[in-house]
Structure 1
Amino acid sequence: MHPLRLVPDCLVPDCGEPAATGALVALCADHLALAADSAAASGCEDVLPSPCPACASRLGVRYPSGWLCAQCEWRHGEQPDADLPPPRVDVVYYLRFDERFKIGTTANLRQRLAAIRHHELVALERGDRLRERMRHAQFARTRHAGTEWFAPSPELAAHLASLRAGVDDPWAQLARWRSEAAALRG
């Protein structure tokens, strides 16, 4: 190799090939292609060309094969079947009002929460009345008699922490569940 060479060698150890012409990083053509493939496979977060039809999010992940909604993973460009009603997703919700927690269930969370005075939607889990009754029995020791409201307890706090693990926003979680349900029904 000549010491006055103007084109740098590839940065990959033991490669020895010259860097690709015009490359922003000193990589040979083969290693530059590998790096590009690797970057494309991991996707690139960006604003969707239009809001997601499943959850209305604007954030997407761009792959070589197309866009996915970053919120619910709906494939951009696919439209939900307008002839079908929105999928039913039953959830058990956990609300906080002052120092009390309500455990309830609904298939229409926004409408249900509008009817209940609360300070915070703490967590969600998929489930219907059977799951709700199971949670009522699980935390019966701290239940306010004749209601669906519960006093704080270490057991309830641990359960809520497990439901919240990895979930930044319960509404986004619900949007994802709805999108999954819509995709599964075809």
Structure 2
Amino acid sequence: MIEDRRCLAAGDGCRGDVPPDAPVTLCAGHLAAVAEWTEGEWGTSDVLPAPCRVCGCRWGVRYPSAWLCGVCEWRQGDVVDDELPPPRVEVVYYLRYADRVKIGTTARPRARLAAIRHDELLAFERGGRMRERQRHEQFADARLGTTEWFALTDGLRAHIVAVATGDGDPWQRHARWVSEALALRG
């Protein structure tokens, strides 16, 4: 028995041939109309034509009207107002130098980290002085004297892994926080 493969588009009586591999019983024209509607409604993930000017991300969602950054949802082509000061986003940073870790805080991580000798930036955690103080108390048993440096214990290592989970690059996480703050500012 041969299955009838005629378009079932309701209301317009198409009854055109349905491609053999079509997932639904619609002709090529109606499948194209559905695909076009879906792209307009949901967008299509793709590589941005240029990196996002806010966070530097390279992927986004393409809509018929515009591209949006896949990380911060900044609309591609919108002008970033350079006259406005950047939003203040405080972070707790975790820097490794040899077998120890510095837990500190800053609102200007690039400048701060450039001033501190370290081997590796391990993670950023959103928060200011209060969050930094909490971490210093949490890992007090590993603290080296009265400094902000701590021995890299299993507990501290596990915490850093948990903080960094989901982001391969701490700078990408920071860029997302800054872009979110920009978006909220309007």
Q: Does TM-score exceed 0.5, indicating one fold?
A: yes
Q: Is the 8 A contact 2:43 2:62 kept in 1?
A: no
Q: Distance in 2 between matches of 1:152 and 1:82?
A: 40
Distance 2:128 2:137 in 1: 14
**Gaps spanning 5+ residues in structure 2: where?**
8-13
* Aligned match of 2:61: 61
Q: Look up the equivalent residue of 1:90 and give its one-letter code.
A: E
C-alpha distance in 1 between matches for 2:55 and 2:61 = 15
Residue 75 of structure 2 is matched in structure 1 by 75
* TM-superposed deviation, 1:72: 2.9
Gaps of 5+ in 1: 11-15
What is the RMSD of the two structures over their aligned residues, measured on CA atoms? 3.0
* Residues 71 and 2 of structure 1, relative CA distance in 2, 3 Å threshold: closer
Moved over 6 A (4+): none
The 10-residue stretch of structure 1 (68-77 or 141-150) with the greater mean CA deviation from structure 2: 68-77
The yes-or-no answer on 1:18 pairing with 2:16 is yes
Q: Deviations over 1:84-117 (max 9, x none)?
A: 1111110001111111111110111111111111
State the Cα distance separating 1:168 from its structure 2 match: 1.4
Letter in 1 for 2:45: C
Deviates more, 1:25-34 or 1:149-158: 25-34
1:164 aligns with 2:164: yes
Aligned residues: 176
Does the residue aligned with 2:159 lie in a helix, a strand or coil? helix
Q: Distance in 1 between matches of 2:151 and 2:120?
A: 15
* Partner Cα distance (2:136, 2:106) in 1: 15
Percentage of matched positions with identical amino acids? 52
Q: Give the SS at the match of 2:182.
A: helix
Code of the aligned partner of 2:47? D
* Contact 1:105 1:129 survives alignment (8 Å): yes
CA contact (8 A) 2:45 2:59 kept: no
Assess, with a 3 A threshold, how the Cα gap between structure 1 residues 46 and 19 changes in structure 2: closer, same or farther.
farther
Secondary structure at the aligned position of 1:110 is classed as helix
- Pairs within 5 Å for 1:24-43: 26=22, 27-28=26-27, 29-38=29-38, 41-43=42-44
| TM value normalised by structure 2 | 0.80
Q: Is the 8 A contact 1:80 1:182 kept in 2?
A: no
CA deviations on 1:101-142 (whole Å, 9 max, x unpaired) are: 111101111111111111111111110111101110011010
Partner amino acid, structure 2, of 1:82: D
